[in-house]
Amino acid sequence: MSRDDKNKELRGLIAYYLETSGYTKKQLALKLGISPASLYNKLNDPDSFTFGEVRRLSEWMALSEDKLKMVV
């Protein structure tokens, strides 16, 4: 899977999580400990997410190990 495909997959997973959880992007940003502007930048360039942020996201979104491997 190409880096672009992985980035699209991660953006899609986050969008799905927001839709199903009822969180807004602003709330997710605060939950991650970053500003909403930083979250928007990271969504535009998913490679800029830190490992810790991806780990927290994967825990909150209850991603399986296989699914997590698809996006990192």
Residue 23: count other Cβ atoms within 10 Å of its Cβ. 16
- 26: domain CATH number is 1.10.260
Q: Containing domain of residue 24, as a range?
A: 3-71
Q: Which pLDDT tens digit goes with each residue over 42-71?
A: 999 988 999 898 888 888 888 777 777 777
Q: How many domains, the chain?
A: 1
* Identity at 38, one-letter amino acid code: S
Report the predicted TM-score, pTM, of the whole model to 2 decimal places: 0.79
User: Which pLDDT band, with edges at 50, 70 and 90, does 36 fall under?
Assistant: very high
Residue 57: count other Cβ atoms within 10 Å of its Cβ. 20
